[in-house]
Amino acid sequence: MNLQTRLGILGGGQLGKMLALSAGNWHLPVWILDEAGDFPAAPYATTFVKGDFRNYDDVYRFGQMVDVITVEIEHVNTAALAQLEKEGKIVHPSPAQLDMIKDKGLQKQFYAEKGLPSAPFKLYSDEKSVQEALANDAISFPFVQKSRTAGYDGRGVAVIQSAADLPKLLPGACVVEPLVDIAKELSVIVARNENGEIQAFPVVEMDFNPNANLVEWLLCPAQTAPAIEKQAEQLARQTIESFGLCGLLAVELFLTKSGELLINEVAPRPHNSGHHTIESCYTSQFEQHIRAVLNLPLGSTKMKTASVMLNLLGEPGYAGPAYYDGLEACLAMEGVNIHIYGKAQTKPYRKMGHVTVLGATLADAREKAHRVKERLRVLAVGG
Ligand code: ADP
């Protein structure tokens, strides 16, 4: 095994940081491209390169410095990646896969073409054409409108229950889906390497904070019937195979009240719903991504202990230099693993870190996670 392979990561946020920390176990040289040296990943990169991952020249120049290129975010300059790929660089996920995944319209068309289950949908060029479709009865309330390209962490999603919600319609090209009757939101992170080997992590269950539309709790294992678990894992495998993608693919699923599994969306990179794997599985999602993009044997995804992951979000009402209130009390609790991303400034609902709470049982982990949630808060110094 060549431990000199230079791994390049576009993006220096918390996912880049955790990838770099994982690569450190094998002492792999890691190069990271992002705009500022005080971003979370910068201190953990062997070489931090300052630049914009949306800019062609910055990405192209960066790509020439490394052997294998991957991403921690989809919204990168794929034209530069395509050129690098043409010149023989290994790029996982591929620029074509990134282009498809970062456009929710193309993603939905892909599922339809491949026969992968997902909610029915229609595409519109702007909010005016959505209004016209309503007037023509082509769509009806309640529905969900999603920006094709601008979305992130629920910001590009509008739930339209009735005419009263129409002012919430988002501008620009969009996908419209019926409002799904969701029983649970599940996620399966799956990995594939160039050899075609595939491994899926145990199914997790996501609970959302209704105010921020961000995952608040993540339960592993998911509280679902074994048959659903098996079906979810199978669907994730089928999805990554259909994409022919190398690296990680986080497959977000809806379990409907009638027991159907639908793909909501995918992310071709480490994902918030896999952070618990660092402590609760044999292999972390970050190491698995590195194994997959370097075409190494994939690691075991077996669960060691039940866990509950909670995102540490900036407390509403506080903005400024971050202060972690209750950190020491939580560090003293058994099985509580605290990850601080190192973002200097907090603001309401900003992802500042996460905590993975391990337990002998899920109930045990849950009870402790509630205590952590009550005790640990991200405030602002002097604010
Ligand atoms: P993002 O890419 O911003 O995370 P998603 O497409 O995942 O956006 O949507 C965010 C959330 O909105 C989902 O996790 C789910 O709770 C809700 N949602 C999305 N689509 C639907 C739908 N068709 N029916 C009901 N709820 C939905």
Q: Give yes or no: residues 263 and 231 share one domain.
A: yes
Residue 1 — very low, low, confident or very high, per pLDDT cuts 50/70/90?
confident
Instruction: Round to the nearest angstrom and report the end-to-end CA distance of the chain.
Output: 51
What six digits make up the tokens of 225? 């019937």
Q: Give yes or no: residues 308 and 224 share one domain.
A: yes
Amino acid 150: pLDDT: 73
Angle subtended at Cα 35 by Cα 286 and Cα 26, rounded to the nearest 5 degrees: 30
Over range 280-302, report the average pLDDT. Answer: 98
Give, for 111, the enclosing helix (H) or strand (E): helix 104-114
Instruction: Give a yes or no: residue 111 inside a domain.
Output: no
Domain boundary pick from 91, 107, 129: 91
pLDDT digits (tens, 9 = 90+) for 130-189: 999 999 999 999 999 999 997 656 679 999 999 999 999 999 999 999 999 999 999 999
Average pLDDT of the chain is 96
Instruction: Give a yes or no: residue 107 inside a domain.
Output: no
Amino acid 210: pLDDT: 72
Model confidence at 213: pLDDT above 90? no
pLDDT digits (tens, 9 = 90+) for 30-66: 999 999 999 999 999 999 999 999 999 999 999 999 9
Give residues with Cβ within 8 angstroms of 137, minimum separation 6: none
Q: Give yes or no: residues 254 and 363 share one domain.
A: yes
Phi-psi region of 264 (alpha: psi -120 to 50; beta: other; left: phi over 0): alpha
Q: Quote the domain boundaries for residue 124.
A: 120-178
Amino acid 151: pLDDT: 61
Over range 86-90, report the average pLDDT. Answer: 97
Amino acid 201: pLDDT: 98
DSSP 343: -
Q: For position 29, which CATH number holds?
A: 3.40.50.20
Instruction: Give a yes or no: residue 109 inside a domain.
Output: no
Model confidence at 228: pLDDT above 90? yes
Q: pTM value?
A: 0.97
Question: What percent of the chain is modeled with pLDDT above 70?
Answer: 98
Atom of ligand 1 nearest to the CA of 252: 7
Question: What percent of the chain is modeled with pLDDT above 90?
Answer: 95
Residue with tokens 């229609």: 122
pLDDT digits (tens, 9 = 90+) for 255-269: 999 999 999 999 999
Phi-psi region of 261 (alpha: psi -120 to 50; beta: other; left: phi over 0): beta
The domain total for the chain is 3
Instruction: Give a yes or no: residue 97 inside a domain.
Output: no
Name the residue of 118, 144, 253, 266 to mutate for ligand 1: max ligand atoms within 8 A of Cβ: 144
Q: Whose CA is nearest to atom 2 of ligand 1?
A: 152
Instruction: Give a yes or no: residue 98 inside a domain.
Output: no
Instruction: Give a yes or no: residue 100 inside a domain.
Output: no
Q: For position 162, which CATH number holds?
A: 3.30.1490.20
Name the residue of 121, 149, 174, 264 to mutate for ligand 1: max ligand atoms within 8 A of Cβ: 264
Instruction: Give a yes or no: residue 104 inside a domain.
Output: no
Q: Whose CA is nearest to atom 8 of ligand 1?
A: 154
